[in-house]
Amino acid sequence: MKSMPSSPLLAPEMAAPAAPPRFRAPRLMGVINVTPDSFYAGGRSASTEAAFARGLRLVEEGAEFLDIGGQSTRPGSEAVPLEVELERVIPVIQALSKIVAVPISIDTDKARVAAEALDAGARIVNDVSALRADPDMARVAARAERVVLMHMGGASPKTMQADAHYADVVSEVRAFLSERLDAFQAAGGDRKRVWVDPGIGFGKDLEQNLALIRHAGELSSLAPVLLGVSRKSFLGKISTDEGPEDRLPGSLALAAWAGFVGLDVLRVHDVLETKKALAALAAAAGNS
């Protein structure tokens, strides 16, 4: 009888299985938009009561930070008056800070809003302008436990998509964030308290967003990285969906990516779903 031909599948000397890729689940920052016009309806809260309830739910679901904003920063959005922004966010921060132990972040580019938010119990300042929109912001932000410096193409959310022009988006965003870190330190801030955010969707087109996501881990040499990709419009361009309500699968996929490239914080609308996805990945990687 002829012997059976050897097969790689039957070979007795098989290579050792590869180790699973390294995975570290990012911490989750839950989004609370006290606005009528933020791009995703699921993240909006029309009243103090609704925002308070959402904050409690996000913490129960596993959020380690809460990010509260009273002004939409979607592309084309208009700035709201100072007093309106204060009326939207301060009561929510006051109420939540008395109940929840997780740090609360104020999402604003106005120094007075940041100052009153810190007085009300916020501990993080998240400024999409990276301290450029208000000359007093660096001084106020220096009081916070953490500061988020984000890259935005253009001067404001209203016009940022008209300025999506880069010779090398990764190197230019990195250089910008490095300069803003230096500026914050020069104003008396502690750069060790900073998180940097490449600003996905803020003055970038699809390919620029994807390039920044691919290389986001490289920004960790500057500071810990916060990434916000949750339900953003570039995901719809990848999957040709109809709107933000269809973009949870893409958001979860990029949450997984963030864990494999070593990012520190994810700003998300869907805390429970993201937490479950990251837990499954951690278990598969042997980190549970």
| 161-202 pLDDT, tens digit each | 666 789 999 999 999 999 999 999 999 999 999 999 999 999
- The Cα–Cα gap between 167 and 139 comes to 33
More confident residue, 13 or 256: 256
Residue 18 falls inside a structural domain = no
pLDDT reported for residue 36 = 77
> Number of folded domains in the chain?
1
Choice among 11-20, 99-108, 246-255 with the minimum mean pLDDT: 11-20
pLDDT reported for residue 287 = 72
More confident residue, 161 or 54: 54
pLDDT reported for residue 131 = 97
Residue 8 falls inside a structural domain = no
pLDDT, mean of residues 113-126: 98
pTM score, whole prediction: 0.89
Our CA angle for 26, 260, 166, nearest 5°, is 90
Contact criterion met (CB below 8 Å) for 3 and 40: no
Residue 13 falls inside a structural domain = no
Q: Which domain holds residue 33?
A: 27-284
Choice among 31-40, 104-113, 249-258 with the minimum mean pLDDT: 31-40
Does 26 have pLDDT greater than 90? yes
Residue 21 falls inside a structural domain = no
pLDDT reported for residue 286 = 85
pLDDT, mean of residues 111-118: 98
Q: What is the CATH number of the domain that holds 120?
A: 3.20.20.20
Give the DSSP per-residue string, the chain.
Answer: -PPPPP-TTT-SSPPPPPPPPP--PPEEEEEEE--S--S-GGGB-SSHHHHHHHHHHHHHHT-SEEEEESS--STTPPPPPHHHHHHHHHHHHHHHHTT--S-EEEE-S-HHHHHHHHHHT--EEEETTTT-S-TTHHHHHTTSSEEEEE--SSSSTTTGGGG---SSHHHHHHHHHHHHHHHHHHTT--GGGEEEE--TTSS--HHHHHHHHHTGGGGGGTS-BEE--TT-HHHHHHHT-SSGGG-HHHHHHHHHHHHHTT--EEEES-HHHHHHHHHHHHHHTT--
Tell me the C-alpha to C-alpha distance, in Å, between residue 33 and each of 79, 90, 134. Answer: 14, 13, 21
Residue 128 falls inside a structural domain = yes
Does 11 have pLDDT greater than 90? no
pLDDT reported for residue 212 = 97
Does 268 have pLDDT greater than 60? yes
Residue 4 falls inside a structural domain = no
Catalytic residue among 74, 174, 231, 267: 267
pLDDT, mean of residues 207-214: 97
Does 12 have pLDDT greater than 80? no
For the question of residue 158 being annotated catalytic, the response is no
Residue 9 falls inside a structural domain = no
Catalytic residue among 174, 232, 247, 275: 232
Question: Mean pLDDT for the chain?
Answer: 89
Residue 181 falls inside a structural domain = yes
Task: For the chain, give the percent of residues with pLDDT over 90.
Answer: 76
For the question of residue 237 being annotated catalytic, the response is no
